[in-house]
């Protein structure tokens, strides 16, 4: 297997052990790790975003971690541009890029190219979101399929996020989201990638999420959140979406106790993991699935770099 000509992609739900697996693989094949998680880019939020620990960063070269302020916007297009530069630089060193993360849109942009859809006015987006919330996902999906029949075979009826996106694109541009996709191209070919997805049973994942929540709180997540609040970050910036921030605010305001805080963070993390799994089923059907308990065995398939 000629890994020097490849780009390795590793995805999986949150808390599935992606980062550890990526480091182990990078060590074996003389690779370097590139972040593909939209929350781990923020330099002020290390604990709550479960960024790789300092020892891991020392052992293997990591890129695009903790390099943007929570006060900055950073789009999928920004990430794609930066990731392509990192991939090129790593390859120039005769090493293998290993991209790891849980942000499906990042991987989609890298593999398929980024869709150049015109910006949709906030008023239209808000109106469509209110409509979906009012009539419910099932009825909304039915209306979406009437509006854009291409969605029927391409979007799961329970996938509210993609349904809303497809609806607003069709409404504003009078063109299907999937027509936009068909006109989009990547700088890479499919043969450039080795695409791996860690398959973790939900029951085991719930246990890991609970353990990680406890670990985050023990390691100083509350202090980290306090520092974040002092920065007075604008509400519309994506850093506010980091899981744990709003829950810790409730705890500090004495609206919930520590036990409720742990439960709320764990539940929201599980919901996020479920959304990631839904995305993977719909968008990553051609990725190689690796059972969580077969990761060590799978690593042996890769030739050790000399």
What percent of the chain shows pLDDT beyond 90?
Answer: 83
How many whole angstroms separate alpha carbon 75 and alpha carbon 105? 10
Q: What is the pLDDT of residue 4?
A: 74
306, pLDDT greater than 80: no
Widest Cα–Cα separation across the chain: 60
Q: Do the Cβ atoms of 299 and 254 come closer than 8 Å? A: no
Looking at domain 204-274, its CATH architecture is Orthogonal Bundle (1.10)
Over the stretch 64-122, which tens digit does the pLDDT of each residue have?
Answer: 999 999 999 899 999 999 999 999 999 999 999 999 999 999 999 999 898 888 889 98
Classified as helix, coil or strand, 167 is helix
Using CB atoms within 10 Å of the CB of residue 107, give its burial: 0 to 12 exposed, 13 to 18 middle, 19+ buried.
buried
Q: Which is nearest to 20 in space by CA: 285, 240, 295, 207?
A: 295
Sequence ranges of the domains in the chain: 3-115+190-200+284-299, 122-182, 204-274
pLDDT attached to residue 3? 77
What is the CATH T-level fold of the domain 3-115+190-200+284-299, as seen in this structure? Rossmann fold (3.40.50)
pTM: 0.83
13 secondary structure, DSSP code: S
Reported residue count of the chain is 306
pLDDT at 2 over 70: no
Taking residues 287-297, report their average pLDDT: 92
> Two tokens at 142?
């039915």
Decide: 36 and 18 in contact? Cβ < 8 Å.
Answer: no
**Residues 73, 238: contact at Cβ < 8 Å?**
yes
pLDDT in the model for residue 1: 57
Q: Which of 5-19, 108-122, 143-157 has the lowest mean pLDDT?
A: 108-122
Q: Does domain 122-182 have CATH number 3.30.1330.60?
A: no
């Amino acid at each position: 297997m000629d890994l020097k000509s490849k780009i390795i992609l590793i995805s999986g739900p949150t808390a599935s052990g992606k980062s550890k697996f990526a480091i182990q693989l990078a060590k074996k094949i003389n690779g370097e790790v590139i972040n593909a998680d939209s929350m781990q880019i923020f330099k002020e939020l290390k604990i709550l975003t479960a960024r790789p620990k300092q020892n891991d960063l020392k052992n293997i070269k990591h890129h695009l971690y903790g390099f943007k302020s929570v006060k900055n916007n950073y789009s999928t297009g920004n990430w794609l541009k930066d990731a392509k530069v990192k991939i090129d630089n790593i390859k120039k060193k005769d090493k293998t890029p290993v991209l790891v993360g849980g942000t499906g849109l990042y991987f989609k942009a890298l593999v398929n190219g980024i869709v150049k859809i015109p910006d949709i006015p906030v008023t239209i987006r808000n109106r469509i979101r209110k409509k979906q919330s009012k009539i419910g996902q099932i009825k909304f999906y039915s209306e979406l399929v009437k509006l854009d029949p291409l969605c029927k075979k391409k979007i799961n009826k329970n996938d509210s996020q993609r349904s809303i996106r497809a609806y607003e694109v069709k409404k504003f541009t009078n063109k299907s989201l999937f027509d936009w996709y068909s006109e989009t191209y990547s700088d890479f070919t499919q043969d450039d990638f080795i695409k791996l997805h860690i398959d973790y049973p939900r029951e085991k994942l719930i246990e890991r999420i609970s353990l990680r929540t406890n670990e985050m709180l023990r390691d100083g997540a509350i202090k980290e959140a306090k520092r974040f609040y002092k920065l007075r970050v604008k509400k519309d910036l994506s850093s506010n979406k980091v899981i744990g921030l709003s829950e810790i605010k409730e705890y500090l305001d004495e609206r919930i106790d520590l036990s409720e805080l742990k439960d709320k963070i764990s539940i929201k993390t599980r919901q996020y993991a479920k959304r990631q799994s839904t995305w993977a089923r719909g968008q990553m059907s051609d990725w190689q699935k690796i059972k969580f308990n077969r990761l060590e065995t799978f690593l042996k398939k890769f030739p050790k770099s000399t």
